[in-house]
């Protein structure tokens, strides 16, 4: 999970820095929710939670559209080409060879599809948990004070969200990031990294990169600056 990154070998490695920053933000929100068990206002927790949620939603949206989407298209194209090649070969080589080659190609397809499906399912799961907690907090803000029982509920929901987030980052780093490195060229990786860090649709397009930098060590902030200079 949190890796000791001293350089970005590839632009997509910025994902490790972003995940590290989001982990720090989520642990801080969780600690605030734990403190709230002893009393205090809900608003500071809600503000911190909103920022965490805003990051996760934007991050997942960009990944779905500009990382998993293009990867799935590349995989489908590869697959089509592979099947066409197999059909030609099947006519010229033994049936046994064609069958085993086809089986191999199929195995690879299933495994790639499973990776993309997992990425999208986990994004939807994070989305669902975020909305649920947001509703809980909104409801509680409408009342003068949050009951002990409800505080416990909010806390346990936040812990569950944080665990789902950690699992997701781990899966993405294991199953998806290596594919990006393998299939995207340098320019495509730089474009994806820029979209993850800079929000062109916001009044402050730097809200992500600035907030991520705040969570990183000075050395890692330097890596972020070097990467940004290449955008």
Which residues of the chain form contacts with Fe ion (CB under 5 A)?
A: 15, 63, 172
- Distance between CA atoms of residues 182 and 201, nearest Å: 29
Is there a contact between 123 and 60 (Cβ–Cβ < 8 Å)?
yes
Least Å from the CB of residue 15 to Fe ion: 5
Q: Residue 203 phi/psi, 5° resolution?
A: -65, -30
CB of 179 to Fe ion, least distance (A): 13
CB of residue 227 to Fe ion, shortest distance in Å:
15
How far CA 54 is from CA of 135, 155, 177, 192, in Å, comes to: 15, 19, 22, 18
What's the closest the beta carbon of residue 119 comes to Fe ion, in angstroms? 6
CB-based burial of residue 198 (10 Å sphere; 0-12 exposed, 13-18 middle, 19+ buried)?
middle
Q: Of 33 and 176, which CB lies nearer to Fe ion in the complex structure?
A: 176
Distance CA 93, CA 80 (A): 20
The terminus-to-terminus CA distance of the chain in angstroms comes to 26
Q: Position of tokens 């397009």?
A: 205
Q: Which is nearer to Fe ion, 155 or 169 (CB)?
A: 169
Q: How far is the CB of 97 from Fe ion (least distance, A)?
A: 39
Between 15 and 136, CB nearer to Fe ion: 15
Place of tokens 């949050």: 146
Q: Judged by CB, which is closer to Fe ion: 82, or 113?
A: 113
Nearest to Fe ion of 62, 86 (CB atom):
62
């Amino acid at each position: 999970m949190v890796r000791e990154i001293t350089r970005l070998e590839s632009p997509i490695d910025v994902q490790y820095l972003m995940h590290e920053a989001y982990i720090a933000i989520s642990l801080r929100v969780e600690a605030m929710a734990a403190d709230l068990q002893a009393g205090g206002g809900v608003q500071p927790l809600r503000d911190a939670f909103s920022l965490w949620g805003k990051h996760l939603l934007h991050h997942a949206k960009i990944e779905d559209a500009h990382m998993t989407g293009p990867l799935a298209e590349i995989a489908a194209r590869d697959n089509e080409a592979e099947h066409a090649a197999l059909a030609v070969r099947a006519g010229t080589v033994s049936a046994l060879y064609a069958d085993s080659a086809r089986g191999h190609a199929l195995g690879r397809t299933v495994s790639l599809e499973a990776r993309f499906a997992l990425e999208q399912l986990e994004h939807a799961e994070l989305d669902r948990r975020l909305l649920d907690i947001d509703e809980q907090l909104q409801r509680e803000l409408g009342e003068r004070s949050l009951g002990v029982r409800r505080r416990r509920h909010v806390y346990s929901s936040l812990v569950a969200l944080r665990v789902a987030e950690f699992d997701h980052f781990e899966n993405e780093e294991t199953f998806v990031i290596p594919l990006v490195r393998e299939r995207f060229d340098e320019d495509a990786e730089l474009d994806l990294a820029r979209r993850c860090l800079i929000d062109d649709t916001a009044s402050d397009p730097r809200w992500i990169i600035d907030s991520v930098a705040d969570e990183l060590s000075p050395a890692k902030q330097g890596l972020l600056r070097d990467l940004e200079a290449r955008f």
